[in-house]
Amino acid sequence: MSDKKLRIIPIGGLGEVGKNMMIYEYGQNILIVDAGLMFPENDMLGIDYIIPDFHYLLDKTHWVRGIVITHGHEDHTGAISHLLENVNAPIYTTPLTRGLAEIKLSKGGMISKAQFNTVQAGDEIRIGPFQVEFFHVCHSIPDGVGLGITSPAGLVVHSGDYKFDHTPVDGKPTDYAKLAELSGRGVLALLSDSTNADRLGWTPSERVIDSAFHDVFHNAKGRIIVASFASLISRMQQVGNAAIDFDRKMAFAGASMVENAKIARNLGYLDLPDDLIVSVDQALKMNPQQVVLMSTGTQGEPTSIMGRLSTGTNRQFDIMPGDTVVLSSHPIPGNEESVYRTINRLFRRGAHVIYENIAPVHVSGHASQEEMKFLFRLVKPKYFIPIHGELRHLSQHANIARQVGIPDDHIAVIENGWTVEFQNGQMSIGERIPGGYVFVDGAGVGDTGPSVVREREALARDGFVLVNLTLDQDSSNLIEEPEIITRGFILARGGEDFYKTTQTLVKDTVAGGDGGLQEDLEETIRTFIYNKTKRRPMVIVTLSRA
Ligand SMILES: [Zn+2]
Ligand SMILES: [Zn+2]
C-alpha cells in the first residue's frame, strides 16, 4: 500500500437513474468508467437527452489514461461522443459494447477520434497505475463486465449493472469464481448497482420470459408486434426462438433495432438463422399469422414506432384489428403516464396489448435485494459505496449492506460530485466538486439551460402574448394601434375586452415610458394578465421605429 490517495468521484448516476460515469483518480492519473446519458423527464420540454457535466475533467484531460465501458446500454455509453470532444484517451470495452458504441459514434461523426481496444471478460489490462480485471456479469444485454480495479491504494470491485441469473439467455452466468478470487485477495471497496435495491427477493431469470412468449405466440391470431429497447439483444434472441417454434418470420422495424440486431448477429451475440429474418416490407405482404415484428418505443415516446402506431401516424404500416402488441419492458420512472396512454390508444385501434402487469413478458436486468446480499457475502468488501440509483435506492442499498454486517461508518452514501478518498486502507469523504448536468437538444450541447426549459414549460402551459409596437422615430409616440397576438392563450370570456384593455394599457405605458420600455411593458402586461386570469403566458414586446 502507498500513502497516495485513491479518489473516487461519481460524475453521474448517483442520485439519479441514468448517465452513469465514475472517475477513479490516483495521483495525476484518471480512469473513467462509463459515460452514459439520461433521458429527460417528461417535463423537460424539447430536451433530447442529458449528459454528465465533465467540468471537473476539463483542466485534467491529460491525466485521463483510459475509458472503460462496462456494457452497451445508453446510460453507460450515450455520452462517449461528447466525452471524446474533451478527452483523448483509449476506450476499453468488450466486442458487443464496442459494436453498439461505434454505431452511435459514427452518427455523431466522432468515430475517427475513438481509439478502441477490445477486451474480453477474463482479461487483465494495465491502464496507468490501474490494473483492471474484467469479469463477466449477467444483465439484460450480453457481454457486460464488472471490474476489479487495483491501484497502489488497494483493490476496488466495480459491479457495473448485474444480476445473478443461473439460466441466462446467452448461457453465461455471472463469474462467481472470479468474484470469489478477488474476494480472496481482500477487497478494499465495493461499488455496486442499486437500481433494484427496493425489490425483495431475487430477480427472476430471463428464462421466465420464454414461457410468457410461448403463450403469446400460441394465442395470437394475427400479427405479433414486440416492442423493446433496441439494446435488449437477449430479448431479440427470445423473440426469434419463439418465432422459430411457431413458424413465424421475424422483421426488425426502426433504424436502431435494425442496426443493433445486425451488429449483434455479425459478432455472434445473436443467433438467428438467415431464413428467419425478413424485411418489414416482406413481412407486411405475408399472412398476419406468419410474422412477428420487433420495434422500439416501449416508453410511449411519441416519435417512436410504437408511439406512431398508437396514433395512426406510422409511415410504413398501421395497427390492424387482431394484432397482438407486446410491450417487453418496464416503464422508466417518470414515463408511466405516457406508457399507459400509448397502451390505451393501441387498444382503441383494435390491438390486443400485453404488458408487464398482465404477463411476465419482461424481467429486470438488475439484481434484487437477495442478490445484493449475495454479492456482499461473495466479495466481502471492507468499504461499500452504492452506485446507480436515486438517493432512495442508494440508501436502501446501504440498509442491505448493514444487514450483512458492514458497519455504518464503512458505507458512503453519496450523490454526484462527492469525492471519496482511500488512503492507508481507510475511507474518508472528501470535498464536493461543482457540477450539474448538461442538456442536449437538437440544436447542440449545453446551450440549453434550466431557464430555457422553464421558458418552454411556460410556453407549453400558458402560451404566449406578443405585442408589436410601431413608434415614431423622433417622438417615440405610437403611430399605429398596438398589435396584440396570442397563441395557446385563450380567455374563457371577455376576450374582446382583454385586447381592448391591453391596448389601452400599452398606450398608457408607452406614453409614460422612457428607457427600458420593453421590459417595463412586458412586466406590466404579465402582471395585468396574471391578475385577470391567474395564468402566466410568455409575454414578448417588440418595437419598431418608423
Ligand atoms: Zn444496463
Ligand atoms: Zn445502467
Give the containing element (helix H, strand E) for 157.
strand 154-158
| Among candidate residues 169, 137, 149, 167, the one with its CA nearest the CA of residue 72 | 137
- Window from 228-242, 251-265, 363-377, 425-439 with minimum mean pLDDT: 425-439
Which position among 71, 136, 352, 366 bears the catalytic label? Answer: 366
Tell me the C-alpha distance between 279 and 520, whole Å.
61
Residues whose CB is less than 8 angstroms from the CB of residue 518 and which lie 6 or more positions away in sequence, other chains included? 541, 542, 543
Q: How far is CA 443 from the centre of its chain?
A: 19
Q: pLDDT tens digits, residue range 362-418?
A: 999 999 999 999 999 999 999 999 999 999 999 999 999 999 999 999 999 999 999
Compute the CA torsion angle 368, 209, 232, 279 (nearest 10 deg): -170
Contact 52, 425 (CB under 8 A): no
Q: What is the pLDDT of residue 44?
A: 59
91-93 sheet: strands from edge to edge: 116-118, 91-93, 64-68, 29-33, 21-26, 6-12, 418-423, 426-432
Q: What is the pLDDT of residue 229?
A: 87
Question: Which ligand is located closest to the Cα atom of residue 163?
Answer: 1
Tell me the C-alpha distance between 203 and 364, whole Å.
7
Tell me the C-alpha distance between 137 and 273, whole Å.
26
Q: What is the mean pLDDT of residues 142-151?
A: 97
- Cell 399472412: give the residue: 287
Compute the CA torsion angle 214, 220, 225, 230 (nearest 10 deg): 0
Tell me the C-alpha distance between 395 and 223, whole Å.
45
Neighbours of 429 (CB within 10 A): 12
Q: What is the pLDDT of residue 466?
A: 84
- 448: pLDDT confidence band, cut at 50, 70 and 90? low
Could you tell me the distance, in angstroms and rounded to a whole number, from the CA of residue 106 to the centre of ligand 1?
Answer: 21
Q: What is the pLDDT of residue 471?
A: 80
- 508: pLDDT confidence band, cut at 50, 70 and 90? confident
| Among candidate residues 387, 305, 382, 312, the one with its CA nearest the CA of residue 345 | 312
224-227 sheet: strands from edge to edge: 249-252, 291-295, 224-227, 324-327, 352-355
Q: What is the pLDDT of residue 321?
A: 93
Which of 46-60, 402-416, 480-494 has maximum average pLDDT? 402-416
Say whether 366 is catalytic.
yes
Q: What is the pLDDT of residue 262?
A: 95
- Cell 502507498: give the residue: 2
Cα angle at 529 between 526 and 532, to 5 degrees? 150
Could you tell me the distance, in angstroms and rounded to a whole number, from the CA of residue 464 to the centre of ligand 1?
Answer: 41
Provide φ and ψ at 3, rounded to 5°: -90, 0
Q: How far is CA 60 from the centre of its chain?
A: 26
Could you tell me the distance, in angstroms and rounded to a whole number, from the CA of residue 139 to the centre of ligand 1?
Answer: 7
- 148: pLDDT confidence band, cut at 50, 70 and 90? very high
- Window from 35-39, 341-345, 502-506 with minimum mean pLDDT: 502-506
Q: What is the pLDDT of residue 447?
A: 66
For the chain, what is the mean pLDDT? 90
Cα angle at 66 between 30 and 257, to 5 degrees? 130
Question: Which ligand is located closest to the Cα atom of residue 75?
Answer: 2
Could you tell me the distance, in angstroms and rounded to a whole number, from the CA of residue 162 to the centre of ligand 2?
Answer: 9
Neighbouring residues of the ion ligand 2, judged by CB less than 5 Å: 75, 161
- Window from 28-42, 119-133, 214-228, 259-273 with minimum mean pLDDT: 28-42
Helix/strand/coil for 432: strand
Helix/strand/coil for 422: strand
- 490: pLDDT confidence band, cut at 50, 70 and 90? low
Give the containing element (helix H, strand E) for 341.
helix 336-348
Distances (CA, A) of 1 to 25, 26, 181, 274, 339: 16, 13, 20, 55, 52
Tell me the C-alpha distance between 384 and 200, whole Å.
20
Tell me the C-alpha distance between 519 and 525, whole Å.
10
- Cell 429497447: give the residue: 229
- Window from 82-96, 130-144, 216-230, 500-514 with minimum mean pLDDT: 500-514
437-441 sheet: strands from edge to edge: 49-52, 437-441, 444-445
Tell me the C-alpha distance between 436 and 474, whole Å.
48
Identity of residue 422: F
Question: Which ligand is located closest to the Cα atom of residue 13?
Answer: 2
Which position among 165, 193, 323, 441 bears the catalytic label? Answer: 193
Neighbours of 374 (CB within 10 A): 17
Q: How far is CA 239 from the centre of its chain?
A: 24
Contact 297, 304 (CB under 8 A): yes
- 467: pLDDT confidence band, cut at 50, 70 and 90? confident
Cα angle at 393 between 387 and 397, to 5 degrees? 70
- 463: pLDDT confidence band, cut at 50, 70 and 90? confident
Q: What is the pLDDT of residue 494?
A: 60
Q: What is the pLDDT of residue 493?
A: 58
Neighbours of 166 (CB within 10 A): 10
Tell me the C-alpha distance between 134 and 163, whole Å.
16
Could you tell me the distance, in angstroms and rounded to a whole number, from the CA of residue 84 to the centre of ligand 2?
Answer: 20
Give the containing element (helix H, strand E) for 215.
helix 208-219
Could you tell me the distance, in angstroms and rounded to a whole number, from the CA of residue 75 to the centre of ligand 2?
Answer: 5
Report whether pLDDT(358) > 60: yes
Neighbours of 472 (CB within 10 A): 12
Question: Which ligand is located closest to the Cα atom of residue 141?
Answer: 1
Question: Which ligand is located closest to the Cα atom of residue 71?
Answer: 1
Report whether pLDDT(162) > 90: yes
483-487 sheet: strands from edge to edge: 483-487, 464-471, 538-545
- Window from 150-154, 280-284, 358-362 with minimum mean pLDDT: 358-362
Could you tell me the distance, in angstroms and rounded to a whole number, from the CA of residue 73 to the centre of ligand 2?
Answer: 6
Report whether pLDDT(144) > 90: yes
Q: What does the block give as the cell for 254?
A: 426502426
Could you tell me the distance, in angstroms and rounded to a whole number, from the CA of residue 88 to the centre of ligand 2?
Answer: 24
Contact 32, 8 (CB under 8 A): no
Query: What is the β-pairing status of strands 187-193 and 291-295?
Result: unpaired
